Structure 1
């Protein structure tokens, strides 16, 4: 498949500006064929994704709705919408999928709605019959997130109100009015004991949920503004990743979540970062910027693993890694959604190192032979040495490619 054709299959335009996107919890194995129904090799399957967006009130002419589609890992193909659910005059702004269940919380203009994925016949989205009273009339929520074990839900409002609920009882764990002027982003720590929050301005705050109070406030360096936040996920390195804006540049800073000191920062975008994600296995970070570019990063050293220039025509509004950490979903206000399959560069990079080491040893050996021949008065053709080196390089290169 050509690069252009592959790009078109994993990227698709829908009929409305997209504000939010999420993977559902389940990945359904793809049958090998209709006769035996065996599961595909290498864990390939079909995952379901949910998009939300619209045009606001009806006068815009663009409907507000949620879309359900699927992504095939084996063919790297994103489908058209297989189901749509109208949200009337309220565009969906944010989505949070409960890990391991069919429940989805969706933020609209005045409150949050509880949705369910129903797979009794064809897969479809439905408004839950359960009334989630504590989420009614709380205003527009800029961010929603479940803890990793699904026992808590956090919401951050446009009015700066920060709430944490037990799930599914929805009993309040923490209720902080005025936590920020407007909450911009939130995230749970790996064990769910801490919550980090950022606002449109001012410091980032880290909250101890057992005490329902702030542990610390983190401020950016002079001339920079804090943006989006994610705790590390691998369980070995106590990090907190926070995006920053320095002028028009996009930066990621790494903070030690034991000492709460910033250990490093790195400029990764010439434009402001508008979306941020971390993979469930903790290996990758991803950023989307105001120009529609997408980058996948190594979480250990912030090195660029993959980048897609102009993945979208305008700013990236939301992004999220798949539950198996093998793909990145991103959406934009230009009505496009894209899935970027995560390639593994480790083998190729390893062979580059081996090739370099081999060449260095080979060069050292030949310089040694030339010197000995010269000392002995022998006649070793320089052209022969060059030809031999050329053949060796070609052989090693082809071996690396075949691997």
Structure 2
């Protein structure tokens, strides 16, 4: 499938996070980070049109010394989003970090509505909110640093239960209607969300900032832990990099795995990236596709459930068929530096990738009539040929 795409450069604005809050409203987060680079950290609201042009509508500049927005997720109501921004070092030194922040969008303007502290940063522990995901109904938010994940209610951002701590580093998380899956470097941790898991009362204004005390009893129940499949082989360096539920079918789950094949006597093998399609009823892999010889850096599932989008460390952006995992499109050298974020708009007509090269690329996704399973197609064609031969032999005998 050939796709049309357009690049847009934003001077002095490396992009690290993105989310569509509505059909054509795109939020970008970026900047120079906490370092004194002179590049300001900002959130920007753009209008993205069907012709792939973009227009800046509003800009929210973060306080001096604060970090860049490294992760974000839109709320289903189309009027808000949540992102992760570490506080300035002067605030961190007081033991406070307002890292989880919710914003509203009214009349094309960005407004900070609430903050919550979930990550402790100290001189010997440099951490940030690398994961931000919203539940399908918009009532829960999962935010995570390196080894701790908090589930918060929305819009209060009050903690739901105790934080989940992991031995391995957390790379991603995903909600279905009834489960939360945490992807660490070594395994998938599947938690059930009880129907009785209700948000606690909203915190008072005096407790709105900083880290708040969680409820005494956890509301999430660990259902199972899924280890890295041995069938993929490789070495200790194999990691889960991303994890997403199918947008319309909770029985389908996708993971990205970056693997380091075992070293041969002659030379070390290059890294390899795999996308796996899982059945969540048995938590077994149904399909696996090797995507390339370089690591995948970001991953998304289209809202219509037809495509998987990814960015690779080889600087390319690609599309896979969500049913067969067959390659659907690829844009080589889509960025000049790391591809940091990728997102579909709600109608799945546009895909936007962002990079540390101060740019985004807007991709138009052509309409398709459906997925093609080529192995099934070959079987059908072979069956037709056999029937034709049998018919011809019967006529000769008659």
- TM interval, shorter chain, is 0.7 to 0.9
Q: Does 1:117 align with 2:114?
A: no
Offset from partner CA, 1:209-252 (integer Å, 9 cap, x none): 225122111122242322100011222x7121110112211101
Give aligned pairs, total. 320
Gaps of 5+ in 1: 28-46, 369-403
Offset from partner CA, 1:122-179 (integer Å, 9 cap, x none): x221222xx4446586862111111112111111112x11111222243433433422
Q: Partner residue of 1:16?
A: 13
1:289 pairs with one of 312, 335, 341: 312
Q: CA deviation at 1:280?
A: 1.3
Q: Does 1:84 align with 2:107?
A: no
Match of 2:111, SS? strand
> 1:318–1:330: 8 Å Cα contact kept in structure 2?
yes
1:212 pairs with one of 202, 220, 235: 220
Match of 1:59, SS? coil
> 2:278–2:286: 8 Å Cα contact kept in structure 1?
yes
> Counterparts of 2:280 and 2:174 in 1: how far apart (Å)?
13
Cα 1:112–1:166, aligned 2, differ >3 Å: closer, same or farther? Answer: closer
Match of 1:175, SS? coil
Q: Partner residue of 2:198?
A: none
Q: CA deviation at 1:12?
A: 3.3
> 1:204–1:217: 8 Å Cα contact kept in structure 2?
yes
> Counterparts of 1:301 and 1:347 in 2: how far apart (Å)?
11
Q: Does 1:94 align with 2:71?
A: yes
Q: Partner residue of 1:230?
A: 244
Match of 2:32, SS? coil
TM superposition score normalised by structure 1: 0.72
TM superposition score normalised by structure 2: 0.73
Cα 1:126–1:347, aligned 2, differ >3 Å: closer, same or farther? Answer: closer
Q: CA deviation at 1:324?
A: 1.1
Q: Partner residue of 2:160?
A: 173
Q: Does 1:336 align with 2:321?
A: no
Q: CA deviation at 1:182?
A: 2.8
Q: Partner residue of 1:126?
A: 111
Offset from partner CA, 1:87-122 (integer Å, 9 cap, x none): 132211111211114222120124122212120xxx
> Counterparts of 1:15 and 1:218 in 2: how far apart (Å)?
42
Cα 1:239–1:98, aligned 2, differ >3 Å: closer, same or farther? Answer: same
**Residues 293-372 of structure 1 correspond to what in structure 2 (within 5 A)?**
293-346=316-369
> 1:234–1:283: 8 Å Cα contact kept in structure 2?
no
> 1:134–1:170: 8 Å Cα contact kept in structure 2?
no
Q: Partner residue of 1:263?
A: 286
> Counterparts of 2:341 and 2:371 in 1: how far apart (Å)?
31
> Counterparts of 1:52 and 1:339 in 2: how far apart (Å)?
16
Q: CA deviation at 1:7?
A: 4.3
Q: Partner residue of 2:172?
A: 185
Cα 1:207–1:95, aligned 2, differ >3 Å: closer, same or farther? Answer: same
Q: CA deviation at 1:314?
A: 1.9
Q: Does 1:250 align with 2:273?
A: yes
Gaps of 5+ in 2: 87-96, 122-126, 195-218, 261-270, 393-398
> 1:253–1:266: 8 Å Cα contact kept in structure 2?
yes
Tell me the C-alpha RMSD between the 2 structures: 2.8
Give the number of the structure whose alpha-carbon radius of gyration is greater: 1
